[in-house]
Structure 1
Amino acid sequence: MSLKPITLWGHDSGSNAWKVAMVLEELSVPYTVKIIDFPDMKKEAYESINPNGRVPSIEDPNTGITLWESGAIIEYLVETYDKQNNFNFASGSKEYYEAKQWLYYQVSGQGPYFGQAVWFTLYHPEKLPSVVDRYVNEIRRVSGVLNGVLQGREFLVGGKYSYADASFVMWYAIAPLFADRINLATDFPALNAWLERIKARPAISKIIKDREAAMAASK
């Protein structure tokens, strides 16, 4: 039975919706991206989908399920559409819970800190160097955790590429913004090698290019 495309709501420059798109690509699940501008996220039409007024959100016509929050969406996608555990692990196994552990670390420990670093560097009306320092230091801390764990490992869990690895990639697109303070190749070589391995995958490479195209189209 052929699947109907899932609708994925996102923003052109955001990371979290494109992170979900990477998972959809890896699972070969059809989907359509709907780009929504920030002001429209707070309007009733979109808040009827996501009362938090942020992205991503998905609407899945195959199951009738609507979800928001990227971590919950990723868990739903792999558990619904990866029955062979090509991108996940057997339910109840040690690796199954370790993958969840890394996903939760990404959504709570990477995304918010990286996002605040970008906000206070580019968008906040006041220049607050001490605040920028705090969040750049958090980027370094999170990167150090990953770099340490990846010493001698190809992937985060069970020696196998999974959604746990893919979930971290898109937020590292901000790295050039802090190139004068963070050099991934020299400061975090194990992390950098891992990122390069993942970005070389066709599904991941496609989404990186799709995001770049969406950003160019919005200018």
Structure 2
Amino acid sequence: MSSNITLYSWPTPNGIKASITLEELGLSYKTVPIDISTNIQKEEWFLKINPNGRIPAIQDGSQRVFESGSVMLYLVDKYDTDRKISYAPGSSEYIEQVSWLMFQMGGVGPMQGQANHFRLYAGARSDYGIKRYIDETKRLYEVLESRLKESPYLAGDKYTIADIANYSWVRSAPGSLEIDLSEFPALKKWSDEIGKRAAVTKGADVPQSGRTEEQKLEFSKNARAKIDAMTNSDKY
């Protein structure tokens, strides 16, 4: 489908939510890589697109859209006329879809993001921080597990942006946090099935970072080892 969309992103759990949605909708788009390790997202030109200095963001003609959940909702509201990956506004399934999308935005993303910080990136070791946020991530996975035991997808019988949003974070947990998804059988089955979708495979590598999956796993392994070698700074 023809469009005038430019995606500003990097292949992080939040970033690929936008690119997978674009790929699932079959939209044409241009990509501007935003390597967040260089702080390019804090430069003045990008702050005009997203005042919060975060990825992903898009421009659709003169319209800017920032925050990953807003990007996803914008794309399906405007372009998913066949309701391929969304439910019609006003339906009960639509409310369920938005609820699970917000569950990711307010729960899985922030909590797993903090787990990643303390386990991989912190400048000092905190056993308290590591345990707190990994435990909370697992608790949220139990919520997803409970839902997926009763429903094939989060919003109902159809794969939607709610699944894309949560999958984009769940997929990274084994490699980054060593969370064994086999502890959550329904969640693992759901994740494995979504990961086989062609649009997901393609969207999860946009923009290309130049690192293979093996290199990403090695990075996480080395980052955890660095944290483990630190003296615990936990004061609680």
Could you tell me which residue of structure 2 aligns to residue 94 of structure 1? 92
Alignment correspondent of 1:194: 190
Corresponding residue for 1:184? Answer: 181
Instruction: State the Cα distance separating 1:215 from its structure 2 match.
Output: 4.6
| Change beyond 3 A, Cα 1:51–1:209 | closer
Instruction: Say whether the 8 Å CA contact 2:115–2:177 is kept in structure 1.
Output: no
Amino acid at match of 1:43: E
Q: Which residue of 1 aligns with 2:8?
A: 9
**Offset from partner CA, 1:135-192 (integer Å, 9 cap, x none):** 100110110000011114211122111111111112121322222xx3111x100000
Supply the distance in 2 between the matched residues of 1:215 and 1:108 (Cα, whole angstroms).
30
Judge which range, 122-131 or 154-163, deviates more.
Answer: 154-163
Question: Which residue number corresponds to residue 16 of structure 2?
Answer: 18
Task: Please tell me the residue identity of whatever aligns with 2:111.
Answer: Y
Look up the match of 2:226.
Answer: none
Relative CO higher for 1 or 2, CA cutoff 8 Å, sep ≥ 6?
2
Q: What is the alpha-carbon distance in structure 2 between the residues aligned to residue 124 and residue 25 of structure 1? A: 34
Quote the residue 2:46 is aligned against.
46
Q: Please tell me the residue identity of whatever aligns with 2:2.
A: L
Q: Give the Cα separation in 2 of the matches to 1:215 and 1:189.
A: 32
Instruction: Map 1:138-177 onto structure 2 (within 5 A).
Output: 138-172=136-170, 173-177=172-176
| CA deviation after TM superposition for structure 1 residue 45, in Å | 1.2
Deviation, structure 1 residue 34: 1.4
Superposed structure 1 runs of 4+ greater than 6 Å apart = none
* SS across alignment from 1:160: coil
Q: Secondary structure at the match of 1:34?
A: strand
Task: Verify the 8 A CA contact 1:5 1:29 in the aligned structure 2.
Answer: no
Whole-angstrom CA distance in 2 between matches of 1:129 and 1:7: 41
Alignment match, 1:74:
72
Q: Which amino acid aligns with 1:159?
A: D
Q: What does 1:197-212 correspond to in 2, within 5 Å? A: 197-210=193-206
Contact 1:57 1:67 in 2 (8 A): yes
TM-score by length of 1: 0.90
Q: Partner letter of residue 184 of structure 1?
A: L
What is the number of residues matched between the two proteins?
211
For 1:53-72, what per-residue CA distance to the aligned partner results, in whole angstroms no more than 9, with x for missing partners? 111110012xx210110111
RMSD: 1.9
Would you say the 8 A contact 1:8–1:57 is kept in 2? yes
* CA deviation profile, 1:39-88 (whole Å, cap 9, x unmatched): 21111111111111111110012xx2101101111110000001121211
Query: What amino acid maps onto 2:3 in structure 1?
Result: K
Distance in 2, Cα, partners of 1:4 & 1:153: 34
- Contiguous gaps of at least 5 residues in structure 1: none
SS, match of residue 112 in structure 1: helix
Please give the alpha-carbon distance, in whole angstroms, between the structure 2 residues aligned to 1:67 and 1:158: 27
In structure 2, what residue type is equivalent to 1:11? Answer: W
Aligned to 2:134: 136
> Could you tell me how far 1:210 is from its partner in structure 2?
4.3
Q: Report what 2:121 is aligned to.
A: 123
Distance 1:5 1:18 in 2: 19
Secondary structure of 1:151's aligned partner: helix
